[in-house]
Structure 1
Amino acid sequence: MKSALLCIDLQYLDAARGCGVFADSGYSAFGKEGQEYYFARLEKQVLPNVQKLQALFRDKGLEVIHIRVMSQTDDGRDRSYWHRKLDLHCPPGSRESEFIESVAPKSGDLVINKTASGPFGNSNIHSLLSRLGIAQLYCCGVFTDVAVESTIRAAADFGYCPMLIEDATASASDMVQAECVNRLGGRYCEVVRTAELLEDLEQHIRSVRKETGYW
């Protein structure tokens, strides 16, 4: 199976202090304690792990795909019902639509824009993955229980083999994170951690090279 790394919603909308949904310090979905937990996990663990994963995937010629919330229109009339209801609006060129610099796309990476929680059903991701012959999706990003979960559930229903990289995702608390991982693992995806994934990919690629002479 061809593999791709999906980097989900690592943008100023929901992955930067004081920006996007966190512009209001009293953001009700997290609260002050939840925000401190979330950004500590994001900055100390998730973003460094995503950097390592992106570097390996690029080095080995595997696809790195960035998924973000961004409308096609300035007024956001193409947004999904729930994004309009929640007043989530990332027009083209907005700060909220920009990627976090440390994990931003590089030359050769692919970018998919979406207008709902997950990209299936409101973007060209399925046709793109089909054209590329990709069947295995390694998922990282935020929030674990929202966009990441939506992506994994839909991917499984579309016949892909999703993999949740647990320590490269983040949500509002350890409890929310654990509940989401338990809810998805073994039903919609396999759950892995960054270190074991990096080692497994290196070993697999060495094996392929030895057997086929490829790469």
Structure 2
Amino acid sequence: MSNWKNAHRSFYYEYADEPEDLVLPAAETALLVIDIQNTYVEVQDDPREAKRWEPFRKRMNETVIPNTRNLIRQCRDRGVEVIFARIACLKQDGRDRSLSQKKPGFNYLLMPKDRQDSQVVPELTPDADDIVITKTTDSALTGTNLRMILHNMGIRHVIAAGIFTDQCVSSTVRSLADESFNVVVVDDCCAAATDQLHINELETINMIYCHVVQLEDISGFMDAE
């Protein structure tokens, strides 16, 4: 098992006591898979951009997607609710999007909800009874009914996986923590544009907004109840 209790420590928590063992009761836990959608694994038309993003696609295809598929299976086997969040606008012209998704540059996201590039990647296709949250913001809680859904189902603990670590994952994790959910972020089921951005963000959110762990740790937490 990984040494999650002492990994990814920022300046704030360098000398803090080790956290207690994590226990994730199935009936009170949900897995939230964030924004692992077709558009993010497509190769860009611009050769320069395609080359810049090649390490990210490699991590997605070789690590994040296979690990998340494994994580989903483990959760289903134990009766843990699996929920998906995806960026998708309700209007074809995207005027329902938040300002952060209308600004020019990388964060400009015009993905109508029924278009193929906005769908969850085929390897992780949600089951018929899975909840899929459509969001037009970074945080999966802001502007959606996810908070109410979790409350109605008696969920207290959320396992988070997805992309981008420093954007939608971080924003969602912070929102969940502010709403007093216990959050566990699975390092090797997440990615940012670069490994450095990914690592920096994990250090920032670890031990205050969540606990950062590895996929190999999760089964022990779920079996500990």
Instruction: Note whether the superposition's TM-score is higher than 0.5.
Output: yes
**Structure-2 change in CA distance of 1:56 and 1:36 (3 Å):** same
Cα drift, residue 176 of structure 1 = 1.1
Matched, 1:4 2:23: no
Map 1:92-107 → 2, pairs under 5 A = 92-107=113-128
Identity over aligned pairs, percent: 30
- Deviation track 1:26-85 (CA, whole Å, cap 9, x = no partner) reads 44xxx734x121111111111111011111111222110000001122221111012112
- Who is 2:193 aligned against? 172
Q: What is the SS of the residue equivalent to 1:140? A: strand
- Who is 2:160 aligned against? 139
Map 1:66-215 → 2, pairs under 5 A = 66-86=84-104, 87-201=108-222, 203-204=223-224
Q: Distance in 1 between matches of 2:109 and 2:194?
A: 22
- Who is 1:51 aligned against? 69
**Structure-2 change in CA distance of 1:24 and 1:138 (3 Å):** farther
Matched, 1:17 2:42: yes
**Structure-2 change in CA distance of 1:131 and 1:17 (3 Å):** same
AA at the equivalent of 2:128: S
Q: Distance in 2 between matches of 1:46 and 1:112?
A: 20
Unaligned segments of structure 1, at least 5 residues:
209-215
Q: Distance in 2 between matches of 1:188 and 1:36?
A: 30
Q: Distance in 2 between matches of 1:83 and 1:176?
A: 20
Higher relative contact order structure (alpha carbons within 8 Å, sequence separation ≥ 6): 2
Cα drift, residue 24 of structure 1 = 4.3
Q: Distance in 2 between matches of 1:119 and 1:24?
A: 30
AA at the equivalent of 1:84: K
Q: Distance in 1 between matches of 2:46 and 2:77?
A: 39
- The structure with the largest helix share of the pair is 1
What is the total number of aligned residue pairs between the two structures? 196
**Structure-2 change in CA distance of 1:62 and 1:82 (3 Å):** same
- Normalising by structure 2, report the TM-score: 0.82
- Who is 1:61 aligned against? 79
Whether contact under 8 Å (1:139, 1:152) holds in the other structure is: yes
AA at the equivalent of 2:99: Y
AA at the equivalent of 1:36: E
Q: Distance in 1 between matches of 2:152 and 2:188?
A: 30
Whether contact under 8 Å (1:17, 1:23) holds in the other structure is: no
Q: Distance in 1 between matches of 2:147 and 2:45?
A: 33
- Normalising by structure 1, report the TM-score: 0.85
AA at the equivalent of 2:64: V
Unaligned segments of structure 2, at least 5 residues:
1-24
AA at the equivalent of 2:156: A
- Who is 1:212 aligned against? none
Q: What is the SS of the residue equivalent to 1:198? A: helix
AA at the equivalent of 2:83: I
